[in-house]
Amino acid sequence: MSIHRIQTEPIDGQKPGTSGLRKKTRIFMGPHYLENFIQAIFDGIGGAQGKTFVLGGDGRYFNDRAAQVMLRMAAANGAKKVIVGQNAILSTPAASNLIRLRQTDGGVILSASHNPGGPDEDFGVKFNTPNGGPAPEGVTAKIYEATKTIREYSILDAQDVDLSTVGTTKLGEMEVEVVDPVADYQALMEKLFDFDKIRDLFASGFRIRFDAMHAVTGPYASAILEGALGAPSGSVVNAVPSPDFGGGHPDPNPIWAKDLVDRMMADDAPDFGAASDGDGDRNMILGKGVYVTPSDSLAVLAAQARLAPAYKDGLKGVARSMPTSRAVDRVAASLGIDCYETPTGWKFFGNLLDAGRATICGEESAGTGSDHVREKDGLWAVLFWLNILAETRKSVAELMADHWRNFGRNYYSRHDYEAVDATAAEGLMQALREKLAELPGTTHAGRTVEAADEFAYDDPVDGSRSEGQGVRVSFEGGGRIVFRLSGTGTEGATLRVYLEDVEEDPARMDAETDTALAPMIAAANELAGISERTGRSGPDVRT
Ligand code: G1P
Ligand code: ZN
């Protein structure tokens, strides 16, 4: 087996976004594209010599091929060892756990998360640092720099490694350890939650429907929910991961998981419904007849955390991404703990978790997690909810009603305008920026603006500053609109409009979300001229 040094040229646009480098699969399959980026990762972190990495992915189209390339390149770059999930499969939280558990020098995750998979869909590669979390901006900047100066990459000339069998083999001088993707993750969940209590809940006739959306959580959910916890067989549906996610969009929200939502709204609905995304880090939570927004889920988990063994001593603090509703802020205030507001993207939670400033974190985009790993974790959120339901023996609807009565209700919705002309989207944001200073005191759709700014974050742990993280407009009475452009899209620009309004009168906590948010929706249009600038009469997706 010989090491080849392949001449290459920098390729434009290999800039990691909100969550790694995400592009159309065919772009990744193009000449040198993947290889350049993998080499840039190694170069950006000071080389791979003598290092140990974790490798896995969500099983989407090209996952298997990309894994073999990464292995051959790691070997050629002098890595000591790669720990890889069987068949190159690892959910994102399971990869994060393995990186931490085995104290590796980081890991490469092959995933485009909730984006669809297939030759004409999306692929992605991200690097996680030794703490198990997504590379922070300082690291992704170095990787990006390396993509701009690359002249050659190293790759071993070798046959494919057999990744179908658990065990250790060699690739050149490098060790390749193939591990069961589920075992270590399951052991961690058993430590965090009261599995006996949850088993009792299922034994009492409690019914769950978990939709794995043909994606990576299938094997995890089957082993844990049906295997270890005794949920009736068939509780986990769409459990076999497929390279194109069954032709669907593995995004657990009311649009893409409509089948689950419909079943949960039916008369004979199970007690609990949940879904996860392509790589297993997102979650959607439903009860019989009720959809729990991710922002509310975060708030409920924070409020009830002590019911789970892992959090019985209370939380050090909580953190949410800026556009996430401020429901959790109210919980934090009542618990007397800190609540951090960070830019969008899980990487911004890493320092807070590492420094012990926050225990639970969440994003409105169906991401919730804690300091047990350094990624958001879909199945963790499901088990946390089950633990709470097992302890309280209340229904999800009852828990939500109690929560809103105690803390008030933050009505919340996100409107996405997808594949908008990039120049038009930039223009919209720029026009908003230019009028921020004049907004306070003005009235829109009958509501008065209290404050308006463009969000910038000063990391309290390492002092780094992240600017341009979205425009936020707050109204008197607790309403808020946030505008930002997506950092994960692969086509044009995606405008995200985040709408929130607070209701403290228990008599008005059962409204339809769109009705409750009508003034904010109208104000958003008025402020940003969304229809005129994008040419769209309404959002493509409302979550
Ligand atoms: C989106 C979500 C964000 C999440 C990210 C990765 O990023 O909004 O909360 O962390 O996906 O899953 P965006 O496309 O908005 O940049
Ligand atoms: Zn994901």
Over residues 70-87, the pLDDT tens digits come to 999 999 999 999 999 999
Which ligand is the nearest neighbour of the Cα of 16? 1
For residue 19, pLDDT over 90 is answered with no
Which residues on adjacent β-strands are paired with residue 367? 282, 363
The pLDDT of residue 431 is 96
Q: Which residue has the higher pLDDT, 136 or 258?
A: 258
- Domain boundary pick from 407, 432, 450: 407
C-alpha to C-alpha distance for 88 and 98, rounded to whole angstroms: 14
Known catalytic residue: 365? no
For residue 347, pLDDT beyond 90: no
Model confidence over 166-181: pLDDT tens digits? Answer: 999 999 999 999 999 9
DSSP letter string, 346-407: GGGGHHHHHTTS-SEEEETTTEEEETTSSS--HHHHHHHHHHHHHHH---HHHHHHHHHHHH
Q: Over 80: is that where the pLDDT of 263 sits?
A: yes
CATH code of 477's domain:
3.30.310.50
Domain boundary (180, 206, 232) is at 180
pTM above threshold 0.75: yes
> Both 190 and 300 in a single domain?
yes
Predicted local confidence at residue 137, as pLDDT: 85
- Name the pLDDT band for 3 (thresholds 50, 70, 90): very high
Question: pLDDT tens digits for 267-276?
Answer: 999 999 999 9
| Token pair recorded at residue 69 | 């390339």
Give the model's pLDDT for residue 255. Answer: 85
Q: Give the closest residue (by CA) to ligand 1 atom 5.
A: 345
Pair (171, 199) in one structural domain: no
What is the arithmetic mean of pLDDT over 357-384? 97
Confidence of residue 234 (pLDDT cuts 50, 70, 90): very high
What's the confidence (pLDDT) of residue 81? Answer: 98
Average pLDDT over residues 128-155: 95
Residues 328 and 448 in one domain: no
CA of 541 to the centre of ligand 2 (A): 18
Based on the fold, state whether residues 373 and 256 are members of the same structural domain.
Answer: yes
Compute the distance from residue 281 Cα to the ligand 2 centre, in Å.
Answer: 5
338 close to 358: Cβ distance less than 8 angstroms: yes
Q: Which of 386, 410, 405 is nearest to 396 (CA)?
A: 386
Instruction: Give the type of residue at 37.
Output: F
pLDDT digits (tens, 9 = 90+) for 483-521: 999 987 767 899 999 999 999 999 999 899 999 999 999
Indicate whether 170 and 209 sit together in one domain.
Answer: no
Residue (of 5, 76, 2, 65) closest to 30 by Cα position? 65
The minimum-distance atom of ligand 1 relative to the CA of 281 is 12
pLDDT-derived band at 136 (thresholds 50, 70, 90) equals confident
- Bridge partners (DSSP) listed for residue 495: 417, 485
Q: Can you give the pLDDT at residue 1? A: 77
Per-residue b/e over 254-273, b at no fewer than 16 CB within 10 Å? bebbeebbebbeeeebbbbb
Q: Are 226 and 274 part of one and the same domain?
A: yes
Instruction: Identify whether residues 413 and 530 lie together within a single domain.
Output: yes
Q: 196 and 175, same structural domain?
A: no
Do 42 and 141 sit in the same domain of this protein?
yes
Q: What is the pLDDT of residues 300-332, one digit of tens each?
A: 999 999 999 999 999 999 999 999 999 999 999
* Res. 363: pLDDT tops 80: yes
Nearest to 90 by CA among 255, 200, 219, 204: 219
Contact 525 CB / ligand 1 (< 6 Å): no
**Bridge pairing between strands 317-321 and 283-287:** unpaired
Which phi and psi angles does 505 have, rounded to 5°? -90, 115
The best mutation among 363, 364, 375 to test binding of ligand 1, ranked by most ligand atoms within 8 Å of the C-beta, falls on 363
Query: What local confidence, expressed as pLDDT, does residue 254 receive?
Result: 85
Domain count, the chain: 3
pLDDT at 37: 98
**247 lies in which domain range?**
185-407
User: Of the ligands numbered here, which is closest to the C-alpha atom of 134?
Assistant: 1
Q: CATH number of the domain that 16 lies in?
A: 3.40.120.10
- Regarding the beta carbon of 348 and ligand 1, being less than 6 Å apart is answered no
The CA 102 to ligand 2 mean position distance, Å, reads 23
> What share of the chain in percent tops pLDDT 90?
95
Minimal-distance CA residue to ligand 1 atom 1: 488
Residues 416 and 403 in one domain: no
**Cα(17) to centroid(ligand 2), Å:** 14
Q: Which residues contact 260 (CB under 8 A, 6 or more apart)?
A: 209, 211, 273, 275, 284, 286
**Residue 415 pLDDT > 80:** yes
H or E element: which one contains 495? strand 493-503
Same domain, 224 and 343: yes
What is the distance, to the nearest Å, from the Cα of residue 358 to the centroid of all Cα atoms in its chain?
A: 17
Does residue 113's CB lie within 6 angstroms of at least one atom of ligand 1?
Answer: yes
Dump pLDDT digits (tens) for 110-126. Answer: 999 999 999 999 999 99
Q: Which ligand is nearest to the CA of 483?
A: 1
What value does the mean pLDDT of the chain take?
96
Q: Which of 96, 113, 276, 486 is catalytic?
A: 113
225 and 126, same structural domain? no
Contact 280, 92 (CB under 8 A): yes
Closest Cα to atom 6 of ligand 1: 19
pLDDT of residue 189 exceeding 80, the answer is: yes
Residue at which a domain ends, from 407, 432, 466: 407
pLDDT at res. 304: 98
